[in-house]
Chain A
Amino acid sequence: MTTHPESTGTPLPAGTPAPDFSLHSTPDQAVRLSEFRGQPVILAFYPADWSPVCGDQMSLYNSILPEFQRLGAELIGISVDGIWCHLAFAKDRNLHFPLLADFEPKGAVARAYGAYRAEDGTTARALFVIDAEGVIRWSHVSPVGVNPGAEGILAALEALQKGSVPA
Chain B
Amino acid sequence: MTAEQEIVRLTLPVGERDHIQGPATAPVTLVEYGDYECPHCGRAYPIVKHVQQRLDNRLRFVFRNFPLAESHPHAEHAAEAAEAAAAQGHFWEMHDALFENQRALGDEHLVRYAAAHGLDRERFTGDMSEHTYAPRVREDFMSGVRSGVNGTPTFFINGVRYDDSWDAETLLAALQAASGA
Contact = CB atoms under 8 A, between A and B. Distances in A.
Given A64-B145, A154-B146, A147 B70 contact: no
Determine chain B's interface SS by DSSP, over half rule. loop
Interface residues of A, number: 20
B145 A56 contact: no
Nearest to A94: B70
B68 A60 contact: yes
Interface in B106-146: 141-142, 145-146
Contact of B145 (A95, A96, A151): A151
Given A143-B1, A151-B146, A60 B151 contact: yes
A148 interface: yes
Given A56-B150, A57-B150, A63 B142 contact: no
A59 interface: yes
Nearest to B73: A94
Contact of B151 (A62, A64, A147, A154): A147
B69 A60 contact: no
Interface in B124-181: 141-142, 145-151
A147 B148 CA distance: 10
A56 B71 CA distance: 9
Nearest to B75: A63
Interface string A89-133: 000011110000000000000000000000000000000000000
A149 interface: yes
A150 interface: yes
A60 B142 contact: no
A10 to B, nearest CB: 14
B96 to A, nearest CB: 25
B71 A149 contact: no
Interface of B: 1, 67-71, 141-142, 145-151
25 contacts: A57-B150, A59-B70, A60-B68, A60-B150, A60-B151, A62-B70, A62-B71, A63-B67, A63-B69, A63-B141, A64-B145, A67-B142, A67-B145, A93-B70, A94-B71, A95-B70, A96-B70, A143-B1, A146-B1, A147-B150, A149-B150, A150-B145, A151-B145, A151-B148, A154-B146
